[in-house]
Amino acid sequence: MEKRISGEKKGFACVDETAKKWTPAVWKDFVRNGPTGTRLPDFSRAGYGMGEQPIPEIESPVFNVTHVRFGAAPDDGKEDTLAIQAAIDAAAAAGGGVVFLPKGRYDIHQTKASPYLQIRSDRIVLRGQGSGRNGTTLFMGAPGEEGPVRRLGTVSARIEARHHTALAVLGAEDSNELAAFTQDVVRGQTDIPVTDTGKFSEGQIVTIVCSDPLIDPTHPAPHKADIPVQLTTPFTLGPVQKDTFGPAVKKLSWIAGIEKIIDAHTIRLTRPARFDQPLGYTPKIFSFNGIQEIGIEHLRFESAWPGGYRHHKPFQDADGKIIRTAKEQDYLWGGIWISSAVNGWVQDVTFADMTQGIILSRSAQWALKNLTFTGQEGHAGVTIGWGNDNLVKNVEFHARLVHPVTLTMTASGNVITNCTTHYEGRNLHSGTDTAMDFHGIFPFENLFEKMKGFYVCPGGDLSVMPHAGVRNVFWNIEAPAKITGYGDYAKDSFVQTYDFVSTSSKMPATMYEHYPQAFYIGIHRRGNRPVTLAGSTEDRHTRWMTVEGLNRPDMAIPSLYELQKKVLQ
């Protein structure tokens, strides 16, 4: 194994270690040993182009949706979906290009029978002239179609109701086997022995798949599972968590790149393995046949959603008649759906009066940056499920949401940085809150950093517990002054759960067990009020958690992601 950190320790010298600032011991340990054992993960390759390339400024060819060839007309009150789709299809036929929407309001999906905008080909950029009220607005007039809402990524995107958004980015979901591992791989390893490297090329995107040899899809049981146990230890799985060790996780996959072909039987991946992968998992490498290089920028997504949101509840009139179903309220006023896509970006985009903002499913290496959520209360902002190594940066939450940021379904290596909530406290009527949400099926090794006004108040039903998998990192986070959470017992706790009865003590004191092996570094709180972890304000290192600098905001390393990029790339 090659440690990319080797020979690069000089980057550590850039850290300010003056008397007024402090440097976490976990960082020093990472510099010495890399992302091995149970140490800090490596997040340095998150984002578009693995964080090494700027988002490109594509200039041509341009397909102006108002051109007579397509016929869109802003501000005329008429449906523009087919005209914009024609421009997207023309760009696809040309091998890519910029689909340009001049300023104004374009009406899309105005009735439930209307079509949706879809991107299904590489190298297409959907570009407006600004995300403000005077820029370019895509106005969604009707909710998506009623249909099954399943666990994210467990079925084809094309039969998941949530893909009926204002804009759907839909990549192909097929793949071809390229090679298999020939030796056990341990966490932190980048060089992978394989059967044959003849089908690989440097820079190629691939999907790695491991299969749990113990899971019986027809008769799942907590003692018949290996991968879920490894990625939730020391949490003890029980019969109620039937989906955590069920058929949905029989196969665990993630997307990576081929950095180098070392010889006829060895490749180097673009980032280290995030967990041990013995040959008993039959790890194999498949082609990634989804779409690449999609850009969505300088746009405003707005809808006719009238408000009155309540979490998982229908909207009823004064007589109790259901006007809007709970499913519509939660899922069917969506902005952007992205599945089976890599190396894309969404930048300078506003979501106004949407109950669901962006969903990333089975996608990797996206940069979602400079986003704003505004208007009516709603369900979720940015949701990542079964996706890895994506970057979410500079997001402003003005609209109250239940889950401003959600990680679920084995999401890993994602970086959420520099996000701010502009409201405080839980609304007990709507369920909206300032939450970093882990929604079950063990999302692991993700980084939340430089977050302002957030704490961990997750969701998910009992069958997918614990909320999170191993080694999630919370770094330099300002918790809100008001922590309402799941009850008075939890009001000062940075991490919470409604399911504390599944923890070892069956009491709120062990709520932290839903975040096994987590790192809490530099957590503090607005208004100089103390925040607690497991009822304590003390730093500590246990098999469950590493806590450093609790209630100390003066870190010498404000961004773990940026420093790892400097040191490791």
- Rounded Cα distance, 59 and 561, in Å: 30
β-strand partners of 377: none
Tokens 């239940």 belong to 402
Integer-rounded Cα Rg, in Å, for the chain is: 23
Phi, psi for 327 (deg, rounded to 5): -65, -45
Residue 569 has what pLDDT?
Answer: 75
Residue 481 has what pLDDT?
Answer: 94
Give the single-character DSSP code of 422.
Answer: S
- 560-568 and 25-33 are packed helices; what angle lies between their axes, rounded to 10 degrees? 20
3-state secondary structure of 240: coil
Instruction: Return the H-helix or E-strand segment holding 435.
Output: strand 435-438
Q: State the Cα angle at 188 between 519 and 563, rounded to 5°.
A: 55
Burial classification of residue 18, based on how many CB atoms lie within 10 Å of its CB (0-12 exposed, 13-18 middle, 19 or more buried): exposed
Nearest to 127 by CA among 106, 102, 151: 102
Residue 365 has what pLDDT?
Answer: 98
Q: Which residue type does 484 have? A: T
Whether 11 has a pLDDT exceeding 90, the answer reads no
Residue 20 has what pLDDT?
Answer: 80
- Rounded Cα distance, 485 and 259, in Å: 44
- Residue 19 pLDDT level (bands cut at 50, 70, 90): low
Residue 538's Cβ-side half-sphere holds a number of Cα atoms within 13 Å equal to 6
Whether 257 has a pLDDT exceeding 60, the answer reads yes
pLDDT tens sequence across 363-418: 999 999 999 999 999 999 999 999 999 999 999 999 999 999 999 999 999 999 99
Quickly count: other Cβ atoms within 10 Å of residue 314's Cβ.
16
Whether 15 has a pLDDT exceeding 60, the answer reads no
Residue 10 has what pLDDT?
Answer: 36
**Average pLDDT for the chain:** 94
pTM of the model: 0.96
Whether 12 has a pLDDT exceeding 80, the answer reads no
Residue 8 has what pLDDT?
Answer: 35
pLDDT tens sequence across 323-358: 999 999 999 999 999 999 999 999 999 999 999 999
Q: Is residue 423 within 8 Å of 51, Cβ to Cβ?
A: no
Whether 13 has a pLDDT exceeding 80, the answer reads no
Residue 279 has what pLDDT?
Answer: 98
pLDDT tens sequence across 119-172: 999 999 999 999 999 999 999 999 998 899 999 999 999 999 999 999 999 999
- Rounded Cα distance, 185 and 71, in Å: 55
Extended beta strands in 16-103, E state: 62-64, 97-100
Instruction: Return the H-helix or E-strand segment holding 118.
Output: strand 117-119
Whether 6 has a pLDDT exceeding 50, the answer reads no
pLDDT tens sequence across 207-245: 999 999 999 999 999 999 999 999 999 999 999 999 999
Whether 1 has a pLDDT exceeding 50, the answer reads no
Residue 426 has what pLDDT?
Answer: 94
pLDDT tens sequence across 173-190: 999 999 999 999 999 999
Q: State the Cα angle at 365 between 400 and 23, rounded to 5°.
A: 75
- Rounded Cα distance, 481 and 492, in Å: 9
pLDDT tens sequence across 504-547: 999 999 999 999 999 999 999 999 899 999 889 999 999 999 99
Residue 2 has what pLDDT?
Answer: 40
Going from the C-alpha of 514 to that of each of 216, 354, 498, the distances in angstroms are 24, 30, 10
pLDDT tens sequence across 447-474: 999 999 999 999 999 999 999 999 999 9
Token pair in block for residue 136: 């370019």
Going from the C-alpha of 191 to that of each of 3, 260, 389, 397, the distances in angstroms are 9, 9, 18, 40
- Residue 311 pLDDT level (bands cut at 50, 70, 90): very high
Give percent above pLDDT 70 in the chain: 97
Mean pLDDT on 46-59: 92
Dihedral Cα 63, 67, 70, 74, nearest 10 deg: 100
